Amino acid sequence: MHNPECCDRRGCARPVITTFCKEALCLDHFCSRSYEFLNGTDERGQLSMASNSPTTEQIQTADECARRTLDICMSKMLLNNLERARLLDILLWCGDLAGSSGAKKNSSSSISEISERGRHQESASRRETSRIAIRN
């Protein structure tokens, strides 16, 4: 019996952090799965710059990937610098992928929505910080 709290990958007993492409994965395997997917789309894109548009399925996967990555970033989970760098890299790569598609309006709206939201939160907290600084 497979323990649902453990990563789906064989021989991996680390706790599940997220699900991606219907697999329950630990952080390490989520990162490697994401890179697998992103590398796959990029290689295909490099063959011809003219037909560099990712398929709808790839954009949906990139969207899912970005959301999962963001969930992990926003969770209270403690991440080391390498993990942070990997997650940020994956998130930006997903954004590039969605941005490189011709159908920007429909497919990549959710990703820009996510980054937009992140930006708002960031500026909000910065405002909060300066307010505190002024008060003191």
- Under the rule (CB under 5 A), what is the footprint of Zn ion? 7, 9, 12, 14, 26, 29
d(CA 51, CA 61): 19
Closest approach of Zn ion to the CB of residue 3, in Å: 12
Residue recorded with tokens 């991606």: 20
CA 84 vs. chain centroid, Å, equals: 11
Residue 6, Cβ density class (10 Å: 0-12 exposed, 13-18 middle, ≥19 buried)? middle
Closest approach of Zn ion to the CB of residue 78, in Å: 18
For Zn ion, the closer of residues 16 and 70 by Cβ is 16
The angle that helices 81-99 and 56-74 make with each other, rounded to 10 degrees, is 150
For Zn ion, the closer of residues 5 and 128 by Cβ is 5
d(CA 123, CA 69): 21
d(CA 97, CA 84): 20
d(CA 7, CA 25): 5
Closest approach of Zn ion to the CB of residue 19, in Å: 12
For Zn ion, the closer of residues 83 and 96 by Cβ is 83
Closest approach of Zn ion to the CB of residue 14, in Å: 5
For Zn ion, the closer of residues 14 and 67 by Cβ is 14
